[in-house]
Amino acid sequence: MAYRGPKAKVARSLDLAVTPKTQKILERRKFPPGQHGMSRKKNAGVYKQQLVEKQRLKFTYNISEAQLAKTYSEANRKEGSSGDNLMVLLETRLDALVYRAGFARTIFAARQYVAHGHFQVNGRRSFSPNRLIKPNDLIELREKSKSHPQIKEAIEGAPEAPNYLSVNKDKKEAKLVNVPLRDQIPVKLNEQLVVEYYSK
């Protein structure tokens, strides 16, 4: 199950802003949560670094431990860098691309919108946030959902989409142009630490 608890506390613990609200909180409170947050030891061991980076990746894509472990196994079976493969598999999930396209303000909202059936892929309604999207797949907001106030607000204030996505805001649709390269994915973390964590 994806994370449903207080996001601000996790964001401060991992030093990771994944929503506009958590970004503001981190700017005001630049220390971990808890009574002794300001005085905690900063030099973490290798295992702790790997564990924290794994948690950061889970929180970034709003997925469960089981989902991340399964995705890593799939990435490890593919040719090439396991870390790059892992990031590509996570980035080409339906909920991640709905978020990148600007149809949701956060990855958490994107997962909810997909699960509630607001989007269709290649003309067929999809309820699966973890569905993998392939190049030339078309993601569309369903006609009945085009008046959804939060989705409309997100689209109006959306930043420019990554160049592996072609977005038509007027038609409220997006197409995956190509499989993204790692340096095109706007996620700043060291996925190699996650690979090391799982490869033990």
Give the mean pLDDT of 67-88: 97
Please report which confidence band the pLDDT of residue 160 belongs to, taking 50, 70 and 90 as the band edges.
very high
Q: Are 197 and 51 in contact (CB under 8 A)?
A: yes
Region for residue 34 given its phi and psi (left: phi exceeds 0; alpha: psi -120 to 50; beta: otherwise)? left
Which backbone phi and psi does 55 adopt, to 5 degrees? Answer: -65, -40
pLDDT score at 39: 46
The yes-or-no answer to whether 7-84 and 93-178 have a common fold is no
Span between the terminal Cα atoms of the chain, in Å: 24
What's the distance, CA 168 to chain centroid?
Answer: 21
CATH 1.10.1050.10 fits 7-84, yes or no: yes
Q: Is the dihedral of CA 27, 83, 99, 116 positive or negative?
A: negative
Nearest to 74 by CA among 64, 58, 87, 62: 87
Residue 7: which pLDDT band, with cuts at 50, 70 and 90? Answer: low
pLDDT in tens, 86-133: 999 999 999 999 999 999 999 999 999 999 999 999 999 999 999 999
The span from the CA of 127 to the CA of 177, in Å, is 22
What's the rounded mean pLDDT across residues 138-158? 96
Query: Residue range 154-170: average pLDDT?
Result: 96
Q: In percent, how much of the chain has pLDDT > 70? A: 78
Q: What's the pTM value of the predicted model, to 2 decimals?
A: 0.83
Q: Report pLDDT for 34.
A: 55
**Which amino acid, one-letter code, is at 120?**
Q
- The structural domains of the chain, with segments of one domain joined by +, span 7-84, 93-178
Between these two residues, 136 and 25, which has the higher pLDDT value? Answer: 136
Mean pLDDT of the chain: 87
- Element (H or E) spanning 46, and its range? helix 46-61
Please give the average per-residue pLDDT across 37-52, as a whole number. Answer: 73
Sorted by sequence, the CB contacts under 8 Å of residue 83 that are 6+ apart come out as 75, 182, 191, 192, 194, 195
CATH of domain 93-178: 3.10.290.10
Return the structure tokens found at 108.
């958490």
pLDDT, one tens digit per residue, over 182-197 is 999 999 999 999 999 9
